[in-house]
Structure 1
Amino acid sequence: MNRSTIGGRTLLTGILAMVGMVMVFPIAWMLSASFKYESDVFKMPIEWIPKNFNPSNYATAVNDFPFVNWYANTALVTIYIVILVLTVSTISGYAFAKLEFKGRDVIFLIFIATMMIPVEVRIIPQFMIFKSMGLIDNVLSVALPWMFNAFSIFLMRQFFTSIPNDLIEAARIDGCNEYMTFCRIVLPLAKSQISALFILAFTWGWNEYFSALIYINDTYKQVLSVGIASFKGEYSGNFAVQMAGATLALIPIIVVYLFAQKRFIEGVAMSGVKG
């Protein structure tokens, strides 16, 4: 390895380290602020390790608000979204990649074009539909819009197009119908992509805010993102309590990502191999 290569890698490592520090900074500040008194939160220079340690912020967040209800509601919404996204996206992605039917490519392009439509444009008709179905103040109203997610279907379709058609044909010659081919041949090859999509869907569900704000009015049926935002009104901008609640809300996402990060990276990389 010559000096120019070593120098280039050193420079790249330094740049990535600085970018990583910038991204970790808000999380580190949040964690530090969650153990401070309100008067110390914005003290400069920043006290990363608080001199006046105040763990009562966590007790305030959990005991003075229906935090447990919000956690349970968020978990339920996330489970629904993960199931809907994985089921619909894998089946639709396979259909758009490997099944021949009239207008397939046109339908796919139209479907992908929906990614350009802002959520705010769809929110009123969706609200009217959910109201007529009696789903207002129901976590299903937050999860159902994710059922036909264009990005996740595109992600799975990109991977399925990389699977050789000869493999699919061989399975059909051996007597497999489309269902058996999909379940026994295609899905086992897509473990990394499904893991990546699982993490994305989990993150979408756990961080869902806008739909919950519109469709859920009952405080006890609310989700974490909207519930934590209500801390500010109740406590006149008590950022220490907000940071405590945000820290508790962040734990599941970190745990899921740490356990599945390898497959997540593999899945995202392999899904973009073939366009």
Structure 2
Amino acid sequence: MARGWRVAGYAGLIAAAVALLLPFYWMVMSSLKHNNDVFTIPIQWLPDPVVWRNYVDIWNKSDMTTWLGNTLLLSVAVTALQVFTGSFAAYGFARVRFPGRDVLFLAYIGTIAVPWQSYMIPQFILMSKLHLSDTLWSIIALQAFGAFGVFLMKQFYETVPEELSESARMDGLSEFGIYRRVMLPLSRPALASLTLLTFVTTWNDYLGPLIYLRSPDLRTIQLGLRTFISQYNAETALIMTGSVLSVLPIAVIFLLGQRYFVEGIATTGLKG
């Protein structure tokens, strides 16, 4: 009986994986077809012939280099800042005792429940007053801090035995030294999880760049693809090609950091 349930469980997981991967597979295969072959009935699951030239034409007909460069710059900068600020603030909430610490932490984490649409207008006015509107600095400044990263890292820090910090203090390390030389090396899985989640979120962000980035040379991949679809709405195969190029970096990064991501999510919040 147990073997039967195990087989059924594996079969269910395989079916779910196929259902999740099927749209991505169709997108990749469509990027290698002629326009007239994308929506054929019945569906043509394998391109015949394979049109590799779509990946050349997309670069010739669009400003893909600028779009990918801007997106990569924003994603790397925001991720680096959020990982640093989130892990540093989380150490203060987890290991430093000061009056009002728990209340301040709850208030800060409570901002996660506030929809961004409710305060995006004041933010836009602030960025305009600071003359950061229509610059990449506006996105970096607004997304350099994140309550979710603080929550994730604090939960992980609390799984680290307090005795390690006490021993480091007795050896003369400052709080910053403990954070840098003790906590950070032990929190690599959580840092990898936060890095991956932040990078993916920033890479896929559409509304933020839509509001703040108006110049064509500042467009991200999401904005660029939207303008490309408006200009070449009949070039279905090229649209699929651009979509593949926008998803490919995320897929590669996730595959490279999958082990650390799963380990970080599994161990965050566990005491031991």
TM-score tier by shorter-chain length is over 0.9
Distance 2:118 2:37 in 1: 42
Partner of 2:265: 268
> Contact 1:158/1:274 (CA < 8 Å) preserved in 2?
no
Gap change, CA 1:241 and 1:273, over 3 Å in 2? same
Distance 1:224 1:41 in 2: 23
> Contact 1:86/1:194 (CA < 8 Å) preserved in 2?
yes
Paired AA for residue 92 in structure 1:
A
Q: How does 1:189-200 map to 2 (within 5 A)?
A: 189-200=186-197
Instruction: Return the offset for 1:38.
Output: 2.1
Instruction: Return the offset for 1:177.
Output: 0.8
Distance 2:146 2:235 in 1: 36
> Can you list the C-alpha shifts for 1:107-166, whole angstroms capped at 9, x where unaligned?
111111111111211211111111112212211212222222111111101001111112
> Contact 2:159/2:269 (CA < 8 Å) preserved in 1?
no
Q: How does 1:1-150 map to 2 (within 5 A)?
A: 4-150=1-147
Partner of 2:149: 152
Paired AA for residue 236 in structure 1:
N
Distance 2:165 2:42 in 1: 62
Distance 1:35 1:184 in 2: 49
Q: For the aligned residues, what is the CA RMSD?
A: 1.5
Aligned length: 272
> Contact 1:36/1:240 (CA < 8 Å) preserved in 2?
yes
Distance 1:6 1:146 in 2: 49
Partner of 1:178: 175
Gap change, CA 1:140 and 1:274, over 3 Å in 2? farther
SS of the aligned residue for 1:102 comes to: coil
Distance 1:46 1:272 in 2: 46
Partner of 1:213: 210
SS of the aligned residue for 2:119 comes to: helix
> Contact 1:228/1:245 (CA < 8 Å) preserved in 2?
yes
> Can you list the C-alpha shifts for 1:201-247, whole angstroms capped at 9, x where unaligned?
22122212110111000112100011112122101353321110111
- Does residue 1:249 correspond to 2:242, yes or no? no
> Can you list the C-alpha shifts for 1:75-102, whole angstroms capped at 9, x where unaligned?
1001111111110110011111111111
Distance 2:69 2:267 in 1: 34
Superposition misfits of 4+ residues, deviation over 3 angstroms: none
Paired AA for residue 187 in structure 2:
A
* TM-score normalised per structure 2: 0.95
> Can you list the C-alpha shifts for 1:38-86, whole angstroms capped at 9, x where unaligned?
2221212211112243333322321111110111101100111111111
Distance 2:13 2:183 in 1: 36
SS of the aligned residue for 2:154 comes to: helix
